[in-house]
Amino acid sequence: MAWDIKIRQLNDVLSDLVPIKDSIPKYVQASGLKLQHIDTSGSAMDVWSNVIAEANKQNKLNELVQSVLKMYPDNPFLKSALSEKEIRYSLGPDIKISEWGDVGEDTLELLTMGQSTLLPVNFLAKGVIKSKSVGKVEIKVSGNRYNVGTGFLCKVKDINDLFFITNYHVINHKDDISRTRIIFDYELDIYGNTIQSKSFEIDVNGPWYCSEIREFDTTVFKLKDEDNQLESYGYIELNEVTILKNDFVNIIQHPGGELKQISLYHNIVTNTTDRVVQYLTDTLKGSSGSPVFNSDWQVIALHHSGGGIKEGEPDLPFGIKSRNEGIYINRIIEFIRENHKK
């Protein structure tokens, strides 16, 4: 079987959603496949690979996806697997994290609510305001193929320019500018109806600041705005912050190129360095370039990588499917200031 991008992404998604081997057979049977024809040895990811290979051979990939969708009806990655349009969401899967910190007992205590998670009700209103500045990045690759990610409008203190920021691994080459659009208001209103979205192009004559993956994994540029329409989306002011282990974080994102969403639950910082911030979430795919906020809605990091546990990494707590990492915003502020001087 030719494992194209779409099938490889499906394997990642199924392995994240159903990481326990004993839970896989019910989906196999529900999709009309015969379990005796599938090698169930190895890890859950190995089993899913074999299941997908058999489903593809029997022309039952859609049935397999539908069987899992019954359990996870809102999962954007399963829904995109049924779409004819090929969407490559920017996961940063090949970013090698030098070291994942272990999860200590103090963090586990917080996960079981050993610390109050009460917040003032205006926390919600502030979050809605911040969310206006977050947009979907969509790059047309060819024909019916798109790469997608997330980014946001921002300003740095003492610099008047309005920037848009995302990951370097989302977009990093000026040849992609003409095929890229930044989409705001791609979301639902309070009644569950889609809002009319608005697209913007990158200003090819504006600043273009890039920092490679192993440094800050950041691309900064401006958007064309001849009619001053960006003003309605506001911006997020970037300031130096202090982030500590066991702080809570919130992430506004366009996972898998889907409608704007927010990740609030189980998001706890596990480790920090001078360059990166690591945190736990349930699942967070396709959100490269998203702003990571603290409980005061200050940006503390630019999300750039994540995923389930890999060989040699410390174990994740039971029920947590994904660990993630963002670039510490203080380093990105320094990067923007240094480049804007030139």
pLDDT tens digits for 156-208?
988 999 999 999 999 999 999 999 999 999 998 889 888 999 999 999 999 99
Tokens of 185: 């208001």
Average pLDDT, the chain: 83
If one counts every other C-beta atom within 10 angstroms of the C-beta of residue 100, the result is: 17
pTM: 0.75
Identify which has the larger pLDDT, 159 or 46. Answer: 159
Residues 58, 153: Cα–Cα separation, whole Å: 46
Do the two domains 105-123+241-330 and 132-237+335-341 of this chain adopt the same fold?
yes
Would you call 20 exposed, middle or buried from its count of C-beta atoms within 10 A (0-12, 13-18, 19+)? exposed
Residues 303, 286: Cα–Cα separation, whole Å: 10
Q: Which residue has the tokens 């208001």?
A: 185
Domain ranges of the chain: 5-83, 105-123+241-330, 132-237+335-341
CA distances from 182 to 233, 235, 264, 330 (A): 12, 14, 24, 25
The pLDDT of residue 1 is: 40
The pLDDT of residue 81 is: 78
The pLDDT of residue 258 is: 80
Residues 221, 137: Cα–Cα separation, whole Å: 13
Residues 253, 292: Cα–Cα separation, whole Å: 9
Give the end-to-end CA distance of the chain in Å, rounded to a whole number: 50
Fold (topology level) of 105-123+241-330: Thrombin, subunit H (2.40.10)
The pLDDT of residue 12 is: 75
> Is the pLDDT at 24 greater than 60, yes or no?
yes
Tokens of 91: 């996961």
Instruction: Give CB contacts under 8 A, 24+ apart, made by 314-321.
Output: 314/100, 314/101, 314/102, 314/103, 315/103, 316/103, 316/280, 317/103, 317/107, 317/108, 317/111, 317/280, 320/111, 320/266, 320/280, 320/281, 320/282, 321/16, 321/17, 321/19, 321/282, 321/283
The pLDDT of residue 241 is: 96
Closest CA to 251 of 302, 308, 321, 307: 302
CATH code of the domain made up of 132-237+335-341: 2.40.10.10
Report helix, strand or coil for 233. Answer: helix
Residues 150, 134: Cα–Cα separation, whole Å: 7
Residues 236, 156: Cα–Cα separation, whole Å: 9
The pLDDT of residue 102 is: 58
Q: In the Cβ-directed half-sphere of 232, how many Cα atoms lie within 13 Å?
A: 8
Angle between helices 44-57 and 61-69 (to 10 degrees): 130
